[in-house]
Structure 1
Amino acid sequence: MRFAEEIVVEEFLPTVRSMLAEELRSRGLTQSEVADLLGISQSAVSKYANGEVERNDRFLEDERVRNLVARISEGLAEETMSPVEALIEIEILVRQLEDRDLIAEIHELEMPELSGHGGDFNVHDPDSELRVTERVRSSLRRGLTIVESASGFASLIPAVGSNLCECTPDADGIDDVAGVPGRIFDVKGQATIPSEPEFGVSEHVASLLLAARRSGLDARAALNIRYDPDIVAALEEAGHGTAEFDAEYDDLDAVVGAALRENPDATVLYHTGGYGVEPIVYILGEDAEAVAEIARGLL
């Protein structure tokens, strides 16, 4: 009898640690620096980096694992991600792979009698506040990667800047919405993201997202882009419902609610500006990645 946790400890973690050690060493970090970041000995770093530890090919070749290792290595090397944040991101992926995914598949191969039981081989509480907020930040980082890498995205950024936001499932205030501090700006034709996502930093886009949710829209993320009639038309042609609201409002909930009553299926809200107010389009969706992909489809 072998537990799923043993697969995590004996196969997944050694594979990921070896990939991280290899990547960090390739970025010029010393064995001592890598050891400090990963919380292991220098001799272990040497073994991992030199391929002296047995690795599971299924984890090694999984695109999600490779992407996570690349993102964490960059974050640790450039000090934009702490070891604790890296650990939480790894744990999030572990839980995903345990839930009728790769770890569960490997487990069932070793214990065929488990097949068909639909078990969620979870070893961590997925509902803790820390893990909920880190899942939001992780999703937002993935969305921002799409924004940053999308050729021509800067052309969609309004003069006031863009922001990509995502909220927790039970969000009831701005502090429950993560966004980019300082917003996303066009710097010489390149979408520039000044810092890592944080909660409570995007009052404008976050307020719009929360107002839409209070009006019944099932959305967790929002992105603002510049207004253009052709952009609205392109979004409609792509199958997204649109609704216009008044830019000169005293009560955001009221004007957003009225717009959504006109078109309850709208996932794109926009206004055409007002006195001293720049016209803006807001794309809303299930998560930051989905919203970023919609925007990329406009390019």
Structure 2
Amino acid sequence: MRFVEEIVVDDFLPTFRSMLAEALRERGLTQSEVADLLGISQSAVSKYVHGDVERNAVLLDHRGLNELVERLAEGLADGDMSPVQALVETEILIRELEQGGLLATLHEEAVPELAEHGSEFAVHDPDSKLRTAERTLSSVRRGLQVLENTSGFATLIPAVGSNLAQVLPSGDSVEDVAAVPGRILDVKGRATIPGDPEYGVSEHVATVLLAARTAGSDHLAALNVRYDEDVVSALESAGHTTVEFDPEAGIETAVADALAEVPDADVLYQTGAMGVEPVVYLLGPDAVAVAERTRELL
């Protein structure tokens, strides 16, 4: 009898740690710094970097794992990501690979009887509320990293500030929306993010996102940027569907009326009113996709 956790310990961890240690060393970190970030000894780092640890060839070639390692190495080396954030993102990938992914396949190879099992087999429940909540927070963090690394994004921030938000798939209230506490502001030409994403800290962008979902949109994420005609035109030229809503009506009513006319819209905008700044809202399947769309405007 062999558990999937043993596959993680014996195959995944040595391969993952060696890949991450190697990537961090390539970015100029010392063995001591790598050891501190990974929570392991310097001698272990030396073994990982010099190939003295057996690595799983299949995991080495896994695209998702390679992308994760590069993202973590970049964030940890630059100081834009904490070890805790890196741990959360790694845990999420492990759970995904356990549930019908590569780790599940390796587990079935180690225990052939699992593949022959007549009923549906799930080594972990990927739909637990805790994991879903962590995946959503992780998506917002990655989206914020995209915004920070997008040259010129600060020019898209409206006077009221921007926020990047993503709601839980079954969420229906502001408490179910992960976003930046406060707002993303333009400080001397640089987008400044005041803190890590949390649940229940966005009011306006969360309200627009929830209103869109109530009106039938299946998008889970939203980002607000400044309005002008060129921004809307650029989005339309990039293939997005835009619709204007009334800034003087209640958000839920205004968004519902707009989406009733254009149900497949993924861009909502209003052109302002007395005391109301004109704003564009980008909608998308997740925070990363929405953040990446800003590059179409620069």
How many Å separate the matches in 1 of 2:150 and 2:80? 24
How many Å separate the matches in 1 of 2:178 and 2:137? 7
How many Å separate the matches in 1 of 2:98 and 2:119? 9
Q: Which segments of 5 or more consecutive residues in structure 1 lack a partner in the other structure?
A: none
How many Å separate the matches in 1 of 2:120 and 2:22? 32
After TM superposition, the structure 1 = structure 2 runs for residues 37-56 of structure 1, keeping only pairs within 5 Å, are 38-40=38-40, 43-56=43-56
Residue range with higher mean Cα deviation, 140-149 or 216-225: 140-149
Residue range with higher mean Cα deviation, 164-173 or 91-100: 91-100
Report the secondary structure of 2:266's partner residue: strand
Shift of 1:7: 2.9
Report the secondary structure of 1:297's partner residue: helix
Report the residue type matching 1:94 in the other structure: I
How many Å separate the matches in 2 of 1:119 and 1:292? 40
Q: Which residue of 2 aligns with 1:278?
A: 277
Shift of 1:28: 4.0
Report the residue type matching 2:197 in the other structure: P
Residue range with higher mean Cα deviation, 209-218 or 187-196: 187-196
Is the CA contact (8 Å cut-off) linking 1:165 and 1:179 kept in structure 2?
Answer: yes
How many Å separate the matches in 1 of 2:229 and 2:223? 17
Q: Which residue of 1 aligns with 2:171?
A: 171
CA separation of 1:279 and 1:164: change in aligned 2, threshold 3 A: same
CA separation of 1:104 and 1:127: change in aligned 2, threshold 3 A: closer
CA deviation string 1:68-104 (max 9, x = no partner): 3344456667485353x43332221012223443334
After TM superposition, the structure 1 = structure 2 runs for residues 248-267 of structure 1, keeping only pairs within 5 Å, are 248-249=248-249, 251-267=250-266
After TM superposition, the structure 1 = structure 2 runs for residues 50-129 of structure 1, keeping only pairs within 5 Å, are 50-73=50-73, 78=79, 80-83=81-84, 85-106=85-106, 122-129=122-129
Which of 27, 30, 33 is residue 29 of structure 2 equivalent to? 27
Report the residue type matching 1:64 in the other structure: G
CA RMSD of aligned residues (A): 3.2
Q: Which residue of 2 aligns with 1:289?
A: 288
Shift of 1:209: 0.6
CA deviation string 1:108-152 (max 9, x = no partner): 666788779999875333233321111001111222222222233
Is the CA contact (8 Å cut-off) linking 2:180 and 2:201 kept in structure 1?
Answer: yes
Alignment coverage as a number of residue pairs: 295
Residue range with higher mean Cα deviation, 69-78 or 94-103: 69-78
Report the secondary structure of 2:223's partner residue: strand
Residue range with higher mean Cα deviation, 217-226 or 255-264: 255-264
* TM-score, with structure 1 as normaliser: 0.83
Q: Which segments of 5 or more consecutive residues in structure 2 lack a partner in the other structure?
A: none
Is the CA contact (8 Å cut-off) linking 1:221 and 1:288 kept in structure 2?
Answer: yes
How many Å separate the matches in 2 of 1:102 and 1:253? 43
Is the CA contact (8 Å cut-off) linking 2:7 and 2:103 kept in structure 1?
Answer: yes
After TM superposition, the structure 1 = structure 2 runs for residues 225-236 of structure 1, keeping only pairs within 5 Å, are 225-236=225-236
Report the secondary structure of 1:281's partner residue: strand
Residue range with higher mean Cα deviation, 45-54 or 160-169: 45-54
After TM superposition, the structure 1 = structure 2 runs for residues 188-199 of structure 1, keeping only pairs within 5 Å, are 188-199=188-199
How many Å separate the matches in 2 of 1:147 and 1:50? 35
How many Å separate the matches in 2 of 1:55 and 1:281? 48
Q: Which residue of 1 aligns with 2:222?
A: 222
* TM-score, with structure 2 as normaliser: 0.83
Shift of 1:237: 3.2
**Residue 181 of structure 2 corresponds to residue 158 of structure 1:** no
Is the CA contact (8 Å cut-off) linking 1:99 and 1:120 kept in structure 2?
Answer: no
Is the CA contact (8 Å cut-off) linking 2:31 and 2:46 kept in structure 1?
Answer: no
CA separation of 1:107 and 1:209: change in aligned 2, threshold 3 A: same
How many Å separate the matches in 1 of 2:30 and 2:88? 24
Report the secondary structure of 1:223's partner residue: strand
Report the residue type matching 1:30 in the other structure: S
Is the CA contact (8 Å cut-off) linking 1:100 and 1:118 kept in structure 2?
Answer: no
Shift of 1:260: 1.3
Report the residue type matching 2:254 in the other structure: V
Is the CA contact (8 Å cut-off) linking 1:4 and 1:121 kept in structure 2?
Answer: no
How many Å separate the matches in 2 of 1:241 and 1:200? 28
